Structures are given as structure tokens and as C-alpha cells.
Amino acid sequence: MKTDSNRWKSKSFSAAVCALYFTLSLCVQAQSNAINWFEVSGGGGTSTNGGYSLSGTIGQADAGTLSGGGFTLEGGFWSGAVALQTPGAPTLTIQVVGSSVILSWPLTADGWALRESPALAGTGVSWNLSPQACTTNANTISVTVPAPGGVKFYRLQKP
């Protein structure tokens, strides 16, 4: 059985602990918070096809452009439309203009058709003839398409 003296001691101790807690919490200064930019890209590996090889390593920068010879590698996220170079085909270029994408190739490459696909690999992937009409000028053949909502791939192929 608790006596009044024990109850008083218990309440006094609880009050002292609460007072100490609030006093200490007033003494704690605000911390400066920051979220630093860190990134780990890729994971490493090599991709090859035909006579071409591309190697990447973990920690390699994933944004920016590398070029050499007749090749250009653009790191980072792929845009909505991607031009793929078919071996032996004329160079297919891609340019984003507002909400459209312009694909073009040299006028001297007559006989090549623009094909499109929503994926590169997987079951049922097919390269369909692009339904947009071609326009020509003095040097190039071009097709203007609306910028896709997702990723769409384009390439040239001889029918």
C-alpha cells in the first residue's frame, strides 16, 4: 500500500523528469538538412552486335554526349522517339521540334522506307511501315510525326 509520502515522491520524480525533458529539448539547436545528389548508373556490361561493341561500367556518367569517328553516344534517358541505324542503310537523323519529331535521311538514298516499332525486342515485335507522308527538299527526305507518348523506335529498311 502506497503512502501519501510515496505518492508525493513519485509525482515529484515524474515532474522533475518532464521538466528536464522540456529544458533539454529547448537547448537542442536546429539541424541543417540537405539531400545530396548521388547516382549509381548501369551496373556494367558489354553489348555487341555485328562488328560493334559498347562497354559500360558502374559509376560511369550517364548524361552527356561522346563522339568519335562516325559515331555518337548520348547518355541519359532516351527521348520519346529513337532513330536506329540499320547497317548499310543511309544515316537516319532525328530532331525534336516542339511537339513533333522530324526524321530525315539523304535524298540520294531513294528506295528506303521508314519503319516504326513500339519496342525493340520481345514476342510479336514488328516493324511497320510509317503511315506519315514523306516530303523532300534539295538534299533530304523527311517525315514529321507527332512526339510519341511513350518510346517509339524508327529505322530505314529497303522494301
114-144 pLDDT, tens per residue?
Answer: 888 888 777 778 888 888 888 888 889 999 9
3-state secondary structure 104-122: EEECCCCCCEEEEECCCCC
pTM for the complete prediction?
0.50
Quote the CA–CA distance of 140 and 130 in Å, as a whole number: 17
CB atoms within 10 A of CB 155: 21
**If you search the block for the grid coordinates 530532331, which residue do you land on?**
95
- In this model, does residue 20 exceed pLDDT 60? no
28-48 pLDDT, tens per residue?
Answer: 566 677 767 665 555 566 777
For the chain, give the number of residues. 159
